[in-house]
Structures are given as C-alpha cells and as structure tokens.
C-alpha cells in the first residue's frame, strides 16, 4: 500500500480511522500468523527428533518391527499424534481434581451418572 492507494480509499469514502483500524488488524493478523508458523515449525522439529529416535530404537532393539516400516515418517502425523496425546494427558490430569457432587437416584442410568460427572468436572 502506498500513498496513492490511501488517497483513493479516502476519496472512496473511507475514514482515516477505518484505514488505521484495517491496517492495525492486518499487522496484528500477520504477527499472529508468524507466531503460529513458528510454533508449528518447532513442533515439527521436535516431532522429527522423536520419530527419528523411535526409528533407531526399533531398528536396534526390535528389528522385526522395523522391517515393516518404510522409513518415511510423516512429521505432520507425528505432530498430530503428540498433540492428541498431550490433550488426552490434560484430560486425565483433570481427573486428579475431579469431584463427584452428583448423587444419583436409583432411576439414573450408568450413562447419566458418567455424563453428569464429566460435565461437572469440565471433562470432554
């Protein structure tokens, strides 16, 4: 964007405040995307290290398992697996603080009891 672009937008009816707001949003969005990209790259690098170590481990100690592996690790799949495992671990950790305020009556089904327990403790 240059001064001619700005002049055209102002002539087109946009206010200075609108232009500043759009510019600020664009810069903030760009910075946020840079942060996300950096985290993604860090995750990929760590996942590749883990996948490589696992490949070496199985090749050395379980060669019969390693024989079936093609050696082509999809790093993005490893990241997804590790993220899912991390989220599961957070859910399990939440059970440490869980309480059971729900007092079921004899008519409550097992499903009702578990559903109430999970909802009361924010477990999804």
pLDDT at res. 77: 92
Compute the mean pLDDT over every residue in the chain, rounded to the nearest whole number. Answer: 86
Average pLDDT over residues 57-73: 81
pTM for the structure as a whole: 0.61
pLDDT at res. 95: 76
pLDDT tens-digit series, residues 18-56: 999 999 999 999 999 999 999 999 999 999 999 889 888
pLDDT tens-digit series, residues 67-91: 877 667 789 999 999 999 999 999 8
pLDDT at res. 82: 95
- Band (pLDDT 50/70/90 cuts) for residue 118 is confident
DSSP the chain: --HHHHHHHHHTT--HHHHHHHHHHHHHHHHHHHHHHHHHHHHHHHHHHHHHHHHHHHHHH-HHHHTT--S---HHHHHHHHHHHHHHHHHHHHGGG--------TT--HHHHHHHHHHHTT--
């Amino acid at each position: 964007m240059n001064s001619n672009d700005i002049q055209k937008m102002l002539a087109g009816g946009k206010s200075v405040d609108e232009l500043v707001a759009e510019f600020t949003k664009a810069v903030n969005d760009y910075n946020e995307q840079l942060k996300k990209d950096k985290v993604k790259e860090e995750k990929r690098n760590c996942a590749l290290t883990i996948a490589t170590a696992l490949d070496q481990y199985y090749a050395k100690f379980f060669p019969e398992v390693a024989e079936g592996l093609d050696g082509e690790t999809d790093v993005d799949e490893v990241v997804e697996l590790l993220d899912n495992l991390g989220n599961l671990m957070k859910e399990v950790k939440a059970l440490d603080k869980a309480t059971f305020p729900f007092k079921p009556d004899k008519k409550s089904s097992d499903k009702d009891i578990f559903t109430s327990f999970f909802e009361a403790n924010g477990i999804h």
